[in-house]
Structure 1
Amino acid sequence: MIIAGVILCVLALLVAGVYAARRVHGSSNNYLLAGRTLAVPVVAILLASQAIDSNGILGNTDLASEFGFWAGAALPLGLALCLIIAGVFFAKPMRAFQIVTLPDFFERRFGRSIEIPASILTVSAFGILVAGNLVALGFLLDRFADIPYNAAILLAVPIVICYTIAGGMFSSSYIGIGMIVVNFGGMLGLFGWMVATHGLSTPAGLGPFDLSQLTSSADGAVINWATIVALALGNLVAIDLMQRIFSSNSPRTAQKACFSGAALILIICIPFSLVALTAVAILGDEAASGPVLYTLLGDHAPTLLAVVVLAGIVTASLTTASGVLLSCSAVITRNILRMGRATSLESASAMTATRVAMIPMALLGALVALRIPQTGILLTLTFDLLLAGLVVPFILGLYWRSRGTATAAMAAIVAGVAVRVALFVATPTIYGVENTLLYVSNGTFSESMDGWSTFIAAAVSLVVYVAAALVGRRPVPLVVGAAPVRDTDAGAETADEATHEPAPVRA
């Protein structure tokens, strides 16, 4: 009954996505960036969907129920903080560059030698993020449709691919509007039902006022802060986040959307952390049988409420997975294979190649999902890798333009990633969960290193970049764009001669 209701709700929203596909008109510019026409509300919803999807919500509730409020709330707090930082420092200048993907910035700032490793690292990391959403969909089908987890993962892959291939960014935009309405209604309904029927309770030591979770390493403080920092900074170089910023109709729209998206994340996601804590008392031993939220909705909540909440989460997962596949395939075709650059974004062959490239990306996500059946952990791990490798070259490459060449960027990427991967392989846990992917038993590192690895790798990247920049030659000045950008509240009307893009209009 529940799964049938979820399917009907999701199909209703997908109709909007199919309808939106008509606006692509065979243009890769429309497919990847919605013609750079999106207004503040739409961009804000797309930015917020990253925290509202099943990866974020299930990770939030599972971590909160097991480790405490701050372990779960660290996910939405980190992602919201990232959007605030992006709005203050990065949204306007990055939108003004008139580029298509984040690796375009690295190519323009450091050259082709950095564009390639930046592209490979972002695509590899985001294969993990796709996996997190596939895990949640797999658990959903396992719990409510009695489809074994492994088979459910393989079934979820073509669903995500077909949804994304249809209309690209326009599909994500149209579905995102319905998604946010359903999620907001579901959150209010679930929180209200919980308060009315069970009240709010917190196990000893796990509540929001138990600040030892943020001050004592024994209570997970290092891991919780590492999660917040990894998401707040690592997500700055998220290719799907930047692609949504690039889709806005002006630099100022991009900035406002970041602030609005941060507010949406906090309003919708923080109550789920409180619900998870109360669910521990309600479920008892059942809490260990699978995702806490799924067990609560399947066995205790009213059917209609379960349908609404799950439909919202599933739709958000499709939106996030679509954005990830879209941005990754754009990076593969544009930045690695160099398609659609010598001519223009209107190239039909470039759009076809972008669609084809989604298939191996989805399969990579499925492989990781089968190996690590976790949600929030995969979300954090994605941005942990990006923090170690790309955040320092990105921030200092943008704001310290008088220093730092490709040599400094390459050194920072190699050193940061090498240290992070080495510590990952040598540490028996990943953010409090057993490392079942790449752990090599050793007598040097214990679980106490978990969390510190994030800070150590980022610090190494920073030190190496600064040292190489100070001893190296001065870089070539960074060119902002092929054409001037006029930034106004009503929307900037520009014509990017390099990509033959039309002047944006309000969506």
Structure 2
Amino acid sequence: ARAEGVRGTILDPFASGLALIVAGLFFARRVWEMQLLTVGDLFSQKYGRKTELVSSVVQALGYLPWIAAQYLALAAVLTHFFQIDHTTAIFGAALFVTFLTMIGGMWSVTLTDTVQICVVLVSLVLLGVKFASTVGEGSVAGGITMTWEQTPLELRTLLPEAGLVALLGWSTTWLNGVFGNIPGQDLMQRIFASRSGSVASRACLLAGCVYILFGLLPVGMGLASRQLWPDELPQGSDGHVILALAELFLSPPGICLLVV
């Protein structure tokens, strides 16, 4: 959001949240009734074992960059706050996550996700209120209004830039974000694990709305950070807006760690 504006956040949170809503409206109940264990099972039932194998390999390879990004992000936080060697932090994060998943399976993922999301949401709200209050000289509403008014118009819109190429790129981003996330194993495994098809559907709808709503917090803080640092983020933040803001407005470091 800081560099590209609201348009740069189409994939996350807008398209990702919309993917959950679309899944809840059209797919969750039907997929749950098929009593599948993995997305590969769906391809196996419809198209055979060879298609199942190909789809599973493609999905596994597709998750590697995403998982690597999570390890890098966690390593950056550990390095920043605890001065741990970056390579050591990456391997430590990978081993810890792998160990936790192996001993607990889906249940461990569910529990840790629940705790993590609750902590992140509360922390983001606290940081957002503190930041907006500071920018608005004591008024949260004033800080939000000031941020929006001082943000350049081209950074405040989700609409595409002029031109056919820009329109095609914008449309592709939306389509990939919405429909590309639906067949993902991370979403489907939560649908499969639901108590019933109706629970799966309602959970997707609620999750999509909440995802977009709370996703607006980091988007807004990214835009507002331009007022504090018009040129570039402070040294040591590694280009992470939330990390820079948490270190500036929250203390001690333990609270910053909860946010990032």
TM above 0.5: yes
Report the equivalent of 1:147.
84
2:136 matches 1:188: no
- Aligned-pair identity in percent equals 25
**How far off is 1:220 after superposition?**
6.4
Once residues 273 and 69 of structure 1 are traced to their aligned partners in structure 2, the CA distance between those partners, rounded to angstroms, is 7
Larger fraction in helix: 2
The equivalent of 2:228 in structure 1 is: 282
Aligned to 2:250: 302
Match of 1:84 among 12, 21, 34: 21
How far is 1:157 from its partner? 1.1
Question: Letter of the aligned partner of 1:129 in structure 2?
Answer: W
Contact 1:104 1:115 in 2 (8 A): yes
Matched, 1:293 2:242: yes
Corresponding position of 2:215:
269
Check whether the contact 2:17–2:211 (CA below 8 A) recurs between aligned residues: yes
1:120 Cα offset (Å): 0.5
1:248–1:254 Cα contact (<8 Å) kept: yes
For residues 270 and 115 of structure 1, what CA distance do their matches in structure 2 show?
A: 37
Deviates more, 1:216-225 or 1:171-180: 216-225
**1:131 — aligned with what?**
68
Query: 1:348-367 maps to which residues of 2 (within 5 A)?
Result: none
CA contact (8 A) 1:73 1:270 kept: no
Q: Which residue of 2 aligns with 1:179?
A: 116
Does the 8 Å contact 2:234/2:244 carry over to 1? no
Higher relative contact order (CA 8 A, sep 6+): 2
Distance, in Å, in 2 between the alignment partners of 1:218 and 1:143 is 43
Q: Is the 8 A contact 1:73 1:273 kept in 2?
A: no
Q: Note the residue ranges of structure 1 that are not aligned, 5 or more in a row.
A: 1-63, 314-507
CA-CA distance at 1:224 after TM superposition: 4.6
Report the AA paired with residue 8 of structure 2.
A
- Stretches of structure 2 that go unaligned for 5 or more consecutive residues are 136-142
Contact 1:78 1:232 in 2 (8 A): yes
1:203-257 per-residue CA deviation (whole Å, 9 max, x = no partner) reads 424542x45x524359966555433321211011101111111000111111011
* Cα contact 2:124–2:259 (8 A) shared by 1: no
What corresponds to 1:311 in structure 2? 258
Q: TM-score, normalised by structure 1?
A: 0.45
Q: Quick one: which amino acid aligns to residue 101 of structure 2?
A: T
CA distance in 2, matches of 1:167, 1:96: 26
Q: In structure 1, give the amino acid aligned to 2:94.
A: V
Establish whether residue 109 from structure 1 lines up as the match of residue 46 from structure 2. yes
Q: Does 2:198 correspond to 1:247?
A: no
Aligned residues: 246
Q: Pick the structure with greater CA Rg.
A: 1
Comparing 80-89 and 169-178, the one that deviates more: 169-178
Q: Is the 8 A contact 2:21 2:209 kept in 1?
A: no
Give the aligned CA root-mean-square deviation in angstroms.
2.4
Whichever residue aligns with residue 293 of structure 1, its letter is: I
Closer, same or farther in 2 for the Cα pair 1:206/1:137, shift >3 Å? farther
Contact 1:77–1:266 under 8 Å retained in 2 = yes
Q: How does 1:308-457 map to 2 (within 5 A)?
A: 308=255, 310-311=257-258, 313=260
Q: Report the residue type matching 1:126 in the other structure.
A: Y
Indicate how the Cα distance of structure 1 residues 151 and 226 shifts in structure 2: closer, same or farther if over 3 A, else same. farther
CA-to-partner distance for each residue in 1:183-215, whole Å, 9 max, x for gaps? 22112111111111012425424542x45x524
Q: Find the partner of 1:228 among 171, 174, 190.
A: 174
Is 1:166 matched with 2:103? yes
The aligned runs of 1:46-65 (5 Å cut-off) are: 64-65=1-2
Q: Distance in 2 between matches of 1:219 and 1:120?
A: 32
Aligned to 1:249, what secondary structure does the other structure show? coil
Partner amino acid, structure 2, of 1:264: V
From the superposition, tell whether residues 232 and 307 of structure 1 become closer, same or farther in structure 2 (CA, over 3 Å): farther
- Name the SS of the counterpart of 2:124 in structure 1: helix
* Alpha carbons 1:83, 1:261 under 8 Å: kept: yes
C-alpha separation between the residues in 1 aligned to 2:170 and 2:250?
33
